[in-house]
Every structure is written in C-alpha cells, then in structure tokens.
Amino acid sequence: MAEQIKHPFPPLYDENSKILILGSFPSVKSREQSFFYGHPQNRFWRVVSTVFGCETPETIEEKKCFLHSNHIALWDVIASCKIEGSADSSITNVVPNDLRPIIDGSRVERIFVNGRTAEKFYNKYTREVLGRDAVYLPSTSPANAAKSLDRLVAQWREIAEQ
C-alpha cells in the first residue's frame, strides 16, 4: 500500500545555476542515498556527463562538483506524495515543491523535465505559478528501457545548447 512520503533531501543549486532539471520524485534508492538518481540502472549521470563531455561522476561529491561546474540545478516537482516503491505510475496525493526559491536564487534560464511524470505534474502545479514552460526530455529511468543510451544522449544534448 502506498504511503505519504516527504522528499528527503534538498534541491541542489547555487547562484550560478542556469539549467534546472526536474524529476518527479526520488526512487527508493535515491531516498536511501539522499541524493538524485541513485539507482545504478538510472542513466541520468551517464547521459548528462556524455552531453557535457565529462567523465561520469561516481560519488555524491563528484556529482555535486559536476553539476555546479556545468551550472545545473537539480530538484523534483513533488515535495510529498503517496507512492508504492519507486513506481511513478502509483503517485497520488501530490504536494508540489515551491520552485521560486531556486528561480529567485539563481540565474536559471531554462527548465527541463526528466520524463512524462515530471512533465505532467510540472504542467499541473508549477507552470502557471512560475509563468515558465519546461522542456520535456525522455526519462533516464531504467523503466524507459526502450530508449537506448545513444538516443537519450542525442535528445538530452539540448541541455548544453545556449
């Protein structure tokens, strides 16, 4: 049975962040690690590091350094929800995150959503509040196995274009 869970860790951004990438809600593995995209089969870190021509960061500190050096902010659309395990399809009772502190405390120019669930909840709860559209990118989740790593990288290249 799904239980209401609060997002267990803060957003990652600084005053120099120009790109905001939003997921839906952290997976069980990410919640255990208290950091983004913690499932070993999630291709997020391989995709974004390839897009920026960098080695794939392994540790949380390496990931933070990678994000800051490439002016990327990470957060999730959902502050709390009912969810069974890591299944986005089970998400109900959504309470959205307030993204205004990130927008106000950074130089974010473009907002991207990682997958259809993030897109759906961004459009439902956040787009009108911020007055800004988000660009959809295909999910890096292992559940999106139909997309090859090469196809994901090709579609995610948009985050590096200025």
Catalytic positions are 42
Between CA 73 and CA 24 the distance in angstroms is 14
Joined together, the tokens standing for residue 111 give 């907002």
Please classify residue 121 by burial: count the beta carbons closer than 10 Å to its beta carbon, then call 0-12 exposed, 13-18 middle and 19+ buried: buried
As a whole number of Å, the end-to-end CA separation of the chain is 44
Joined together, the tokens standing for residue 141 give 């989740």
Between CA 19 and CA 159 the distance in angstroms is 7
Kind of pairing between the strands at 135-137 and 110-114: parallel
